[in-house]
Amino acid sequence: MTDLAIEGFTDREFSVPELTTIINKVPNKYGLVTNMKIFGDPIPLPVTHVTLERQNWALNLLPATERGAPGTLGSRGKRDKKIFEIPQITHQDSVKVADVQNLRAFGSAAAMYLEDMVAQKLVTMASKHFVTHEWYRIGALQGQILDSDGSVMLDLYDEFGITKPVAAFGGGADIPARLRTIKRQIERSLMGEVMTGVACLASYEFMEMLFSNADIKAAYNAAMAAWQNFIALNPTLSDRRFSFTVQDITFVEYDATFSSIAANGTSSIQRAIPSGGAIFFPLGTQNSAYTYVAPGDFAESANIPGQVFYAKEKPDEWNRGRDILTQSNVLPIWVRPELLIQGTTGSGGNNVTDMAS
C-alpha cells in the first residue's frame, strides 16, 4: 500500500494491467462444477472465437507391423468444423468518496485507503463473474449454455447434431438396472476417450427417488455414517460436500440456485438442475471438456491471449469517485455431448436402452 490518503482519492489512477492483476488474484469460492475441474484450466486465445474440428471423435486401433515395414497412414476422415463465439460478461460498479470518507481500515486506526476500497470492490465484482462462470459450466454439462435470464446461448446437442440422451426413471423403472445402463452407454460412447469413473449431479427430487430403492438407501446410509466419522476426525476440513457411490456411479446432490436481475429491475431465481433432474457424465476425460478465454474488449488487450478477468477504471462525471468496469470472456464447452446423459424422475422421453443386468 502507498501512503495515499482520502484527500488524494481522485488523483490515483489504476492502469488496466494493475487492476487486472488484482482481480485475477481473487480466489474463487463459488461453484461445485468449477471446483471439480471438469473443464480444465482456462485456455487463453488471442481471438474472440474458438474453432473446433470434430473428426469422427474416435481413436482407432493400430495394427502391428513388421519391423522395418512402413507405418499405417493416418486417416483423413470427414471433418466437422464449428466456430463458437466466446461470450463477453461486462460488469460496472463504482467507488465514491462517500464510501471512504471518515472510514478507518478494519482493525486499524489509520484512514481507509483508496487501494483497500478498490480491492474490496474488485472481490465483490469478481465473485459475480465466478458465479456466472459456474452457471455457464453447469449449463454446458446439461448440453445448453444459458444466459442469466435462462435463454439459450448455445445448444451443444444442436450444434453437433446429437440427440440428447435421456434416462427416465419414472413409471416403475428398475432403478439399479437403469443406472447400469447409463454407465454402459457412457462407456460405449467413449470411442477411444478415457475416463476414470462416472459421476452424477442430482436435484434433491432425483435423490429422493433413488432412496426409494432399499439397497441404494442402505448404501447411502453407510456412506453417510463413514463420512460423519471422517468429519469428526477432521474438523478443519474446508470442503464438506458429501458424495456416495452406487452401481459404480458417484452421486452428489447439487441443489444450488442462481439469481439474476433483468434490465427492468425484476429479479428471478433459477435452479442449477431442474426439478427432478440429474446429469450423468464421465470423469477424467482428456479431450471432451475445455474452457476458453478471449482477450478483453480494451485497446490494451486486443489480439493478446486472453485472461480470465480484466478490470479498468476512470473518474466519474463529477470527479466524486471512480467508475470500475470488469470483464470476463469465458466459454466452457463439452465437445462430446453424447457422453452427457440427462436423468429425470419422469417416465417420458427415455432413449437410453435398458440392457440385461
Distances (CA, A) of 35 to 120, 150, 185: 23, 23, 26
What does the alpha-carbon distance between residue 268 and residue 238 come to, in Å, rounded to a whole number?
Answer: 30
Low-confidence ranges of the chain (pLDDT < 50): 1-12, 64, 109-111, 356-357
Placement of cell 435462462 in the chain: 150
Cα-only R_g, the chain: 25
Q: Of the candidates 78, 148, 123, which has an alpha carbon nearest to the alpha carbon of residue 324?
A: 123
Instruction: Write down the pLDDT at residue 295.
Output: 94
* 8-51+81-233+241-344 belongs to CATH 1.10.3470: no
Q: Which of 335, 141, 121, 109 is nearest to 256 (CA)?
A: 141
Q: Tell me whether strands 166-168 and 80-85 are parallel, antiparallel or unpaired.
A: unpaired
- Cβ-count burial 263-282 (b if 16+ within 10 Å, e if not): eeeeeeeeebbeebbbbbbb
What residue segments make up the domains of the chain, in order of their start? 8-51+81-233+241-344
Per-residue pLDDT tens over the stretch 3-40: 323 333 344 456 667 777 776 776 656 688 998 999 99
Q: What is the pLDDT of residues 219-273, one digit of tens each?
A: 999 999 999 898 888 877 666 788 999 999 999 999 999 998 887 888 889 999 9
pLDDT confidence of residue 99: 75
Backbone angles phi, psi at 234, to 5 degrees: -130, 65
Instruction: Report pLDDT for 109.
Output: 44
Report d(CA 30, CA 27) in Å as an integer. 9
Cα–Cα dist 108/218, whole Å: 54
| Element housing 324 (H / E) | strand 321-334
Q: How far apart are CA 111 and CA 105, in angstroms?
A: 6
- The Cα–Cα gap between 187 and 101 comes to 61
pLDDT reported for residue 30: 65
